[in-house]
Amino acid sequence: MCFAFVVLNEFERAVVFRLGKVSGGPRGPGIIRIIPCIDKVTKLDMRTYSFDVAPQEILTKDSVTVAVDAVVFYRVNDPLKAIVQVADFRESTELLAATTLRNVLGTRDLSQLLSDREAISASMRAGLDHATEPWGIEVERVEIKDVRLPEQLQRAMAAEAEATREAKAKIITAEGEIKAAQALREASNLLTDNPTALQLRYLQALNSVSAEKNSTIVFPFPMEFLRGFMKGSPGWRSSSPRAIAAPPGYHHAGTDTKQTKGTDSDSYVEGTACCYV
């Protein structure tokens, strides 16, 4: 009897049909012996295959039409099933991947499709692997490559994102103003409880204002600061209403000080005077 030999690589397996029937199980790698004109050898590559799922328009659960691209990685797990159970396992797997993609994405909202691709890919892989298991195919990975939205929807989403950013910015600004107001209130309380600190702060303000050049500034000056100077002045009177003499260098400004009836023209009711700088 005459024999022939076939060499199979490490990544190859062969199914031998003898007179139309499967002769044993998958064979290889290495050298296998066959009978010419009686045996028919079909080789299979056991390495991982990949293909792109044709881009297709899909309607999501919330009625948004999107175009989705995906890629599938798979390999032959059982050479005998891949030859006997399906006419063309490659074409069948590609067609099944397209329908599985459509079915899975049709149960998801647009927000889920954009934010949870890993879960969707895992769901697609599980469904596709279960469907191709009778064909001896193992689906290793399914990846969503791209999700294209309608141009009008893209503009609407961009406007919404911009409005959200502006709202957050306004909230941050308002929080900063609240903190600043709280700090000012605390400082005001401290100065109110400590008159000496208030006087020092007032004197600092006067010093800052006086440093300005080529300007005339009118500001109120509390008379309490001048009491020590007024007591030694000839115009000082202790009768009610108390009147004090205007200190040298200061001039009354309009209606800011009132002349007390029955007093000297240079005497003024104690209160707040205006000082010119």
The residue from 30, 45, 60 where one domain ends is 45
Please report the pLDDT score of residue 219 as a whole number. Answer: 56
pLDDT in tens, 176-198: 888 888 887 777 777 677 767 66
In a domain, 223, yes or no: yes
In a domain, 205, yes or no: no
Residues 90 and 13 in one domain: no
Residues 122 and 59 in one domain: yes
In a domain, 197, yes or no: no
Distance CA 97, CA 92 (A): 9
Beta-ladder partners of 45: 12
Please report the pLDDT score of residue 263 as a whole number. Answer: 43
Which pairing describes strands 30-34 and 65-76: parallel, antiparallel, or unpaired?
unpaired
Q: pLDDT: is 175 or 78 the higher one?
A: 78
Q: pLDDT: is 205 or 99 the higher one?
A: 99
In a domain, 203, yes or no: no
Element (H, E) at 276: strand 272-276
pLDDT in tens, 230-248: 555 555 454 444 444 444 4
Amino acid at 9: N
Q: pLDDT > 70: what percent of the chain? A: 68
In a domain, 10, yes or no: yes
CATH number of the domain where residue 55 is located: 3.30.479.30
Q: pLDDT: is 265 or 108 the higher one?
A: 108
Residues in CB range of 30: below 8 A, 6 or more apart: 7, 8
In a domain, 180, yes or no: no
Is residue 85 pLDDT above 70, yes or no? yes
The pLDDT-based confidence of 252 (bands split at 50, 70, 90) is: very low
Which pairing describes strands 39-45 and 12-18: parallel, antiparallel, or unpaired?
antiparallel
pLDDT in tens, 136-163: 999 999 999 888 887 776 666 667 777 7
pTM over 0.75? The answer is: no
In a domain, 85, yes or no: yes
Mean pLDDT of 86-113: 90
Q: pLDDT: is 72 or 168 the higher one?
A: 72
Residues 31 and 53 in one domain: no
- Domain region containing 227: 212-276
The pLDDT-based confidence of 79 (bands split at 50, 70, 90) is: very high
Is residue 199 pLDDT above 90, yes or no? no
